[in-house]
């Protein structure tokens, strides 16, 4: 097993714990009431070893997410970073990554780091835990605990989505509304909503032309094979907010590119559109502006997606993933666009150490 250790700081376990022993109690508050926050952080393979991309910024957001939920930890982003580096070293992930890549087991392997802060479990009657365990909605009596895992992952939406562009749909599930649960925090509860949107995409097939639907129906009635070349199999959903404007993907932020003569404008939903303020999103805004593009944070109506010249997702796992169709409607030429590819090349170049880290985003293990 590649990942041999997980770091834990809980009531019953502290330190680097063997994978099979890294457990929490089934009555932990987080399991019943989703009282937890988390981060997804990426470590890239570079010529100088594994580089953690904007790790301190991720941990700052993690601590702030916990603070919103009144969970406080006695560790700062520097402390989290030291644990992260040691966890990667103890699991020998540099060598494992090289081996997996050489064997062809993953196309684009990277180190994925998953820290979680959560409400755990401790009995009010330690000598007799059957008596009144603190399992009500009120989480304040439960201890704040955390753990961190590091393992290998591959392209989140698939290699084909990177090369050809992803097919996506707009979800029927509305993104969490303001003043319900905080979208600003990366809380585990938010992803119950995102899961519904993600599953909807995975279970949906989209036709690009009504004639194809008729042909499929006739073939089905006759028990014949039909031409499925025009079918689209979405890999992700775009969620709208409570007002019906574009919010984000089930696990990514979104950008819309419009050509206006010789000018290019890039639009992205603002913080108040119920989005998570993504670290990758912030990186892409910085890169795009430095490349000379105008980036506008504004509310985006759903129909603007259909007439966009380019659309792309951003996120720790998704990096910069082009979108080629929305609800079966081709975006632009129906392939990754020039602006998207230029931004992606710059982002990946910096993250992998092939281009100058002029923003100071990398921290080497």
Enumerate the active-site residues: 186
Q: Are 292 and 170 in contact (CB under 8 A)?
A: no
Q: Which two tokens stand for residue 69?
A: 């939920």
CA distance 351 to 248: 23
CA dihedral 195, 272, 326, 294 (to 10 degrees): -140
Provide the CB-side half-sphere exposure for 298 (13 A, CA): 12
CA distance 40 to 56: 12
CA distance 77 to 299: 32
In sequence order, which ranges of the chain are alpha helices (DSSP H)?
29-33, 55-68, 77-90, 93-103, 159-164, 190-202, 210-222, 279-290, 302-306, 338-351
Q: Which two tokens stand for residue 157?
A: 């939406």
């Amino acid at each position: 097993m590649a990942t041999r250790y997980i770091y834990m700081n809980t009531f019953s376990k502290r330190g680097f714990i063997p994978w099979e022993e890294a457990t929490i109690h089934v009555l932990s508050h987080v399991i019943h009431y989703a009282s937890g926050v988390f981060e997804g952080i990426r470590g890239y393979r570079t010529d100088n070893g594994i580089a953690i991309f904007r790790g301190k910024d991720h941990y700052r957001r993690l601590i702030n997410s916990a603070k919103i939920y009144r969970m406080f930890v006695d560790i700062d982003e520097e402390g989290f970073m030291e644990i992260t580096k040691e966890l990667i070293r103890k699991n020998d992930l540099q060598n494992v990554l090289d081996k997996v890549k050489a064997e062809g087991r993953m196309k684009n392997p990277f180190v994925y780091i998953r820290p979680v802060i959560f409400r755990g479990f401790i009995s009010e009657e330690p000598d007799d835990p059957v008596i009144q365990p603190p399992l009500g909605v009120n989480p304040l009596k439960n201890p704040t605990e955390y753990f961190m895992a590091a393992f290998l992952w591959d392209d989140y939406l698939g290699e084909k989505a990177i090369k050809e562009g992803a097919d996506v749909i707009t979800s029927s599930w509305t993104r969490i509304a303001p003043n319900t649960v905080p979208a600003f925090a990366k809380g585990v509860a938010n992803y119950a909503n995102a899961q519904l949107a993600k599953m909807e995409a995975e279970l949906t097939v989209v036709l690009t032309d009504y004639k194809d639907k008729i042909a499929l129906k006739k073939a089905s009635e006759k028990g014949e094979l039909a031409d499925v070349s025009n079918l689209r199999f979405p890999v992700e959903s775009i969620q709208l907010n409570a007002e019906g404007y574009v919010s984000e993907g089930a696990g990514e932020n979104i950008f819309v590119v419009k050509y206006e003569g010789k000018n290019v404008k890039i639009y992205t939903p603002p913080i108040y559109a119920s989005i998570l303020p993504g670290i990758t999103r912030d990186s892409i805004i910085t890169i795009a502006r430095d490349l000379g593009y105008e980036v506008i944070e504004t509310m985006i109506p759903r129909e603007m997606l259909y007439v966009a010249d380019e659309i792309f997702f951003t996120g720790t796992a998704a990096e910069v993933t082009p979108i080629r169709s929305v609800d079966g409607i081709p975006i632009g030429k129906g392939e990754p666009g020039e602006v998207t590819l230029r931004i992606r090349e710059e982002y990946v170049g910096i993250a992998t150490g092939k281009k100058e880290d002029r923003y100071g985003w990398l921290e080497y293990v």
